Amino acid sequence: MKGEIKLLREDGTRLDGRRLDEVRPFKIEAGVLKNADGSAYIELGNNKIMVAVYGPREVHPKHLALPDRAMLRCRYSMATFSVEERKSPAPSRREIELSKVIREALEPAIFVEEYPRTAIDVFIQVLEADGGTRTASITAASVALADAGIPMRDLVAAIAIGKIEGKLAVDLNGLEDQYGGGDMPIAMMPRLGLITLLQADGVFSPEEVVQGIEMAEKAIKMLYEEQRNALRKKYLEIKEEVLGSE
């Protein structure tokens, strides 16, 4: 299997022209939906993902409510047109798993104990997918949560580390994910330096895991800055508009 498909060029760059430690171009926007309490939109390479957050709000049915904290509910779903072959709209095994994984990556960041007996709903809609949607979803979802005014310990940003032709690479795209030798999504609370998600498939040596986390941390710091800017933008624009008109 390995070696059959070349994922690296002669000069050591990847097929899309990136260096091994280079993240795809990304863009984050906050507050893109009017109905939701908080929302965010992210583009990471060809990935396009929309996230809406509702809550904290009353739980229905009522018996599901937790007496001491808010429950976080996540739904990750891919649009039928998000991949080349039409994706069935019914939640797949993969989507259900990703919903759980994303929820568990976000929950440590939220002060859930401040809103007992309520629910915080996170809806993630993947409009276009090209590898690394779970990490991009986490990055966008934490912006949407912050945009909703939910108290959090830190934002959560995530990126995948992968292996292509035996070398560690940051932020795999769809092709590299499919034919590469491993995928390790990592989510962190960058300010606090805590990891909230670490998965891996493929083979990584202990050294590679350590090195991979270091590489991820760098990329996550970059994403974090963009998250911060996205959240502040709306308010700074109003400020500029108001002060500029005087």
Question: Which residues sit at the interface with another protein, rule CB under 8 A?
Answer: 37-38, 55-58, 67, 109, 111, 115-118, 146-155, 189-192, 227-228, 231-232, 235-236, 238-239, 242-243, 246
Residue number, 10 or 241, with CB nearest to another protein: 241
Give yes or no for a contact between 186 and 161, defined as CB atoms under 8 angstroms apart: yes
Smaller CB separation from another protein, 94 or 232: 232
Q: Report the C-alpha gap between 135 and 9 in whole angstroms.
A: 26
Give the E-state strand segments of 31-70 in sequence order.
38-44, 47-58
Interstrand relation of 38-44 and 26-30 (parallel, antiparallel or unpaired): antiparallel
User: Minimum distance from CB of 121 to another protein (Å)?
Assistant: 12
Cβ proximity to another protein, 7 vs 112, nearer residue: 112
Q: What is the smallest separation between the CB atom of 128 and another protein, expressed in angstroms?
A: 27
Least separation in angstroms between residue 55's CB and another protein is 7
Q: Are the C-beta atoms of residues 30 and 139 closer than 8 Å to each other?
A: no
User: How far apart are the C-alpha atoms of 55 and 122, rounded to whole Å?
Assistant: 9
Shortest spacing between CB 187 and another protein, in angstroms: 14
Contact (CB, 8 A) for 104 and 197: yes
Nearer to another protein, 21 or 114 (CB): 114
